[in-house]
Amino acid sequence: MFPKTIPGLQRFLLWKTKHLSQQQFILILSAIIGFIAGLGAVAIKNATHFIQELLEGRLIINYHHAFYFIFPIIGLALTLLIIKYGFKKDIGHGIPSTLYAISKRKGIMRPFQMYASLFTAPLTVGFGGSVGLEGPTVATGASLGSNIARLFQMNQTSRTLLIGCAAAGAMSSIFKAPIAAIIFAIEVFSLDLTLVSMLPLLTASVSAILTSYFFFGSDIILPIKLQDDFIISEVPFYIILGILAALCSMYFTKVYFKIHELFKKISSPLTRLLIGGIGLGVIVYLIPPLYGEGYNVINNLLKENYMAALGTNFFNDFLDNIWIVVALLAGLVLFKIVATSLTFGAGGVGGIFAPVLFMGSAMGHCFALIVNNSGLLKNPISVSSFTMVGMAGLMAGVLHAPLTAIFLIAELTGGYELFVPLMITALISYLITNKFQPHSVYTMELAERGELLTHDKDQVVLTLMNIRQVIETNFVTLQSTMNLGDIIHKGVLKSSRNIFPVLDENNNFMGIILLDDIRPVMFKQDLYNKITVQELMQRAPEIIDIKKDRMKDIMEKFQESDAWNLPVVEDEKYIGFVSKSKLLTAYRQKLIEVTV
């Protein structure tokens, strides 16, 4: 076993059992995990900045935007080589892969995930991949939390909590926003908001932000300063911004998954690299602000420094025309998700958190400029405030995390003057988006496969249950060519069950015969050669397809059919039966594990 490989570990576990309660030990681990997650964030960020400075300063003194076309392809190629020949395993996207580990792997993440993103994410983003570093940073911390929990032989509930602590620590370190980081862990990872979970999350968040302050000082990724106060007359515009954010959120998700599906159809990694890399290169060459994470663009938009924000492009000489600026900002909103999706499609490693903030800032800024230059208002609305609230609106819609969006922007601004606008826009964006897209970008694929954990405890238990563990195989099968005599001698006399599955010569499931169906004729030997299986067989009330049906579907089939046993097939081949009693027993056991 993994924990026994470390000398003295068993002695420490015995000492811990005698001297520390489980809650005390989790608090200690959460502090350690927060510190390590903070170090991971520092390492990934510094490695990325080193690559960016190397490319922009030391290697190419007269940096020209033509290299925007070349660098992303180089970074993606290096990332692909490391994954293929170094790790030889699929790294997966940061937060979705973590959610999958929680729902289907009992919170167990593979050890290589602790360091995979440390190499691949900086190469992807440092060379200009249009993605963020938050997802890989969270995945790195989450894997550390998972494997530390495994090391100390902790149960699934504790592993999940420590994964949440790592996620909170990573976000706290990146943004220096400890409260938003805690809310992010609760919203995205569906953790229970109780004192038992709150204290470890708080401990990890504080530990991580102290680590960030130690290495980065007071520098933050988005040094936002509130310039204007909230005015009640601006409420209608914040409502409109919320609706616009919802539309942009749905556009983001649709484009993301559409391009994702197109690349899934391409089997060759090299072909995906060439198509995605060249496509990304063309886009960032034509629209330089899409190069990399884009936080510099956000900061320059907040300063209304359009020359620095919009970069070197064909419209430089026209940036004094505000409508050219509006058109370019609208282009950033439309094409950022395309560039992000191409980066992922080509094999890049990154996250969508930064692209969401980027699109949100461009959307809010563009909206404010349109309103102010439309001639409808005597007093202009605050461009910087709408830029910030736009980020929250898109985050609430795309990530389905309205509370995270509200508190993140509130913490970044250093105050709560924008709290009401943030609440209005984030709420409207979330409600509209959730109506048409019930799941976020992080969770949509898992939800479609029935593998998503939510705050619904009943749903959580059903998701965590494994159908293969409750399949019973001690049923005597009958062939469709048998007669009554064969049923008696080869079936009834050898079985302790009262159900007999009927199969054809290829082991395909055809139906069932109940002992009650045989009883009236089983002692009439003159009928043994006259009555066939086909005459006695009946259709099963429901059939469980192990590849298609999830636990929720199986429970519904039992409820609707009122059956006590249902057959299980895989590719139409018979496997066994599931009984209602065994299923309910497994459900109760899993419920105990989840709630302890």
Assess contact for 141 and 176: CB atoms under 8 A. Answer: no
**Residue 456: is its pLDDT beyond 50?**
no
> Which fold is adopted by the domain 232-450?
Clc chloride channel (1.10.3080)
Please tell me the distance from the alpha carbon of residue 233 to that of residue 154, in angstroms, as a whole number: 54
| The pLDDT value given to residue 238 | 96
Are 3-216 and 460-595 in the same CATH fold? no
Res. 59 pLDDT band, cuts 50 70 90 = low
Q: What is the pTM of this model?
A: 0.77
Q: Any idea where the domains of the chain sit in the sequence? A: 3-216, 232-450, 460-595
Assess contact for 565 and 590: CB atoms under 8 A. Answer: no
**Residue 37: is its pLDDT beyond 80?**
yes
3-216 maps to CATH 3.40.50.720: no
Condensed to tens digits (0 to 9), the pLDDT of residues 142-190 reads 888 888 888 887 887 788 888 889 989 999 999 988 999 999 988 887 7
Mean pLDDT of the 279-304 span: 89
Please tell me the distance from the alpha carbon of residue 401 to that of residue 239, in angstroms, as a whole number: 18
For domain 460-595, which architecture applies?
A: Roll (3.10)
**Residue 452: is its pLDDT beyond 70?**
no
Condensed to tens digits (0 to 9), the pLDDT of residues 7-30 reads 677 777 777 777 778 888 889 999
Mean per-residue pLDDT of the chain = 84
Condensed to tens digits (0 to 9), the pLDDT of residues 566-579 reads 889 988 889 888 88
Question: In 3D, which of 92, 95, 183, 99 has the Cα closest to residue 464?
Answer: 99
Condensed to tens digits (0 to 9), the pLDDT of residues 116-146 reads 888 899 999 999 889 998 888 988 888 888 8
Assess contact for 593 and 156: CB atoms under 8 A. Answer: yes
19, burial (CB in 10 Å: exposed 0-12, middle 13-18, buried 19+)? exposed
**Residue 67: is its pLDDT beyond 50?**
yes
- Residues 138-152 as b/e (b if ≥16 CB within 10 A, e otherwise) read bbbbbbbbbbbbbeb
Please tell me the distance from the alpha carbon of residue 212 to that of residue 210, in angstroms, as a whole number: 5
